[in-house]
Amino acid sequence: MGYTEAEKELSVYESMAARFDVAARQLKLDAGLYKYMRCPNREIIVHIPVEMDNGTVEVFDGYRVQHSIARGPSKGGVRYSPQVTLDEIRGLAAEMTWKCAVVNIPFGGAKGGVVCDPEKLSRGELERITRRYTAEILDYIGPERDVPAPDMNTGEQVMAWMMDTYSMHVRHTVTASVTGKPLDLGGSRGRREATGRGCMIVCDQALKRFGKTPESTRVIIQGFGNVGSQAARLMYEAGYRITGVADLHGGTYNSRGIDIPALLEYAHEAKGVKGFPGGEAAESCELLEQDCDVLLPAATESVITSRNASRIKARILVEGANSPTTPPADEILFDRGVFVIPDILANAGGVTVSYFEWVQDRQGYFWTENDVNDRLKHIQVAAFNDVVHYGEKHNVNNRIAAYMLAIDRVAFSLKLRGIYA
């Protein structure tokens, strides 16, 4: 059970670096900039002592990797998972730099993580882990430095605790220190749905290229957390036929289309999609290979590898998760003509609305949901067109085009700034 095959093809950092190398070669990137941009600026490792509910003390490992501040404060989520490693966080931090550059928002990239299993922790334990982690990295974060946000297994409540801890230390409320907060604490309208909405926006653009409509499009979604469930809901409302949904514990398939509002209600009660009466039971890995038009992996990394890529039947791959496809799988998908919308473009809706949240917090003036959604659409459609045109012009696939576009933008900022000595 689970999303990934036991043996990993390449680590997240290795995958990122392999793509970076291809893009850098295509760009004929200067050797010094190549070395500079391939590794992170700063890596922070902390060991967090926490008093558990039973009175014992546990120590959790935590990381925050800041890959780049070339274009602005570093930006990126914090994940809680037993699988977190420094290598993973390092790779995802670099991906955040490229993601922010692809959508052209004024941030660098970072990522954080704590090695823990939130399913086994009480609310109080989670709060204490969050506050101590925040306190340990406090000198390195802040609205002008590095701005954390939600990621896997973290959400609005964790962000509220992070913002409060930061604020208590500096002795005034700094809502812009963190994004993805609850609406009543300086959060932005539309942030919760933003990543899923962004996936739909780029998928709509891809359909236009293929002359298809949402009604004639079957979608399979892997992952039913924040990204997968919001994408499912919004796409269902827009007329897409969602034929399969899987989460960590199992999946459901219905060729006529799943009733997504009913599935949302069921998953809320049952704590997962497994056993949903409106579809047939299916394993997560089977669903990846099931016939469909759009495959939307929205769970975790390295689920599409050289071992299953040749069996993927979707024509369009929308990467809601970070790094769901390994570089060897990329080549197979490309040869088979799959239109890949890479993670740093497809799931950039989250960080884009995080940017809007940061702007609103700093202005103390909050936008309507329509404003947020319109601006998000504007940014993601422009980024989609930039990537696709760049790829056509340079005869590279969408993934390498996105990397090239991003690396070129970051390199330009670095050249303008020079190296401080």
* Helix or strand (DSSP H, E) at 59: strand 57-68
Residue (75 or 233) nearer to ligand GLU, CB? 75
Q: In the complex, what is the shortest distance from the CB of residue 274 to ligand GLU, in angstroms, rounded to a whole number? A: 26
Nearest-angstrom CA–CA distance, 162 and 156: 10
Q: Does 41 bind ligand GLU (CB under 6 A)?
A: no
Q: In the complex, what is the shortest distance from the CB of residue 99 to ligand GLU, in angstroms, rounded to a whole number? A: 6
Nearest to 244 by CA among 275, 284, 204: 284
Instruction: Pick out residues in 120-179 that bind ligand GLU (CB under 6 A).
Output: 149, 151, 179
Residue (91 or 350) nearer to ligand GLU, CB? 350
Q: Does 373 bind ligand GLU (CB under 6 A)?
A: no
Q: Does 77 bind ligand GLU (CB under 6 A)?
A: yes
Residue 340, SS3?
strand
DSSP state, 9? Answer: S
Known catalytic residue: 111? yes
Q: Which of 62, 73, 76, 327 binds ligand GLU (CB under 6 A)?
A: 76
Nearest-angstrom CA–CA distance, 73 and 95: 15
Nearest to 62 by CA among 171, 11, 120, 138: 138
DSSP secondary structure of 233-269: HHHHHTT-EEEEEEETTEEEE-TT---HHHHHHHHHH
Which span sits near ligand GLU by CB under 6 A: 9-17, 42-50, 300-308, 349-357?
Answer: 349-357
Residue 299, SS3?
coil
Q: In the complex, what is the shortest distance from the CB of residue 346 to ligand GLU, in angstroms, rounded to a whole number? A: 10
Residue (52 or 86) nearer to ligand GLU, CB? 86
Q: Which of 153, 302, 323, 354 binds ligand GLU (CB under 6 A)?
A: 354
Q: Does 350 bind ligand GLU (CB under 6 A)?
A: yes
Q: Which of 11, 230, 254, 322 binds ligand GLU (CB under 6 A)?
A: 322
Handedness of CA 192, 198, 199, 201 (dihedral sign): positive
Q: In the complex, what is the shortest distance from the CB of residue 154 to ligand GLU, in angstroms, rounded to a whole number? A: 8
Which residues are paired to 108 by β-bridges?
74
Which span sits near ligand GLU by CB under 6 A: 128-136, 243-251, 347-355, 382-390?
Answer: 347-355
Which span sits near ligand GLU by CB under 6 A: 11-19, 62-70, 74-82, 210-218?
Answer: 74-82
Query: 177 Cβ partners below 8 Å, 6+ apart?
Result: 141, 142, 143, 147, 148, 162, 163, 166, 167
Q: In the complex, what is the shortest distance from the CB of residue 86 to ligand GLU, in angstroms, rounded to a whole number? A: 17
Q: In the complex, what is the shortest distance from the CB of residue 357 to ligand GLU, in angstroms, rounded to a whole number? A: 8
- φ and ψ at 114, to 5 degrees? -125, 135
Residue (297 or 350) nearer to ligand GLU, CB? 350
Q: In the complex, what is the shortest distance from the CB of residue 180 to ligand GLU, in angstroms, rounded to a whole number? A: 6
Which residues are paired to 318 by β-bridges?
341
Q: Which of 75, 99, 111, 181 is catalytic?
A: 111
Residue (317 or 321) nearer to ligand GLU, CB? 321
Query: 187 Cβ partners below 8 Å, 6+ apart?
Result: 156, 159, 179, 180, 181, 357
DSSP secondary structure of 175-222: GGGSSS--GGGT--TTHHHHHHHHHHHHHHHHHHHHT--GGG-EEEEE
Joined tokens for residue 276: 């949903």
Which span sits near ligand GLU by CB under 6 A: 123-131, 308-316, 345-353, 368-376?
Answer: 345-353
Residue (222 or 347) nearer to ligand GLU, CB? 347
Q: Which of 304, 351, 379, 402 binds ligand GLU (CB under 6 A)?
A: 351
Q: Does 75 bind ligand GLU (CB under 6 A)?
A: yes
Query: 85 Cβ partners below 8 Å, 6+ apart?
Result: 11, 115
- Indicate which residues carry an active-site annotation: 111
Q: Residues in the site for ligand GLU, rule: CB under 6 A? A: 75-77, 149, 151, 179-180, 322, 347, 350-351, 354
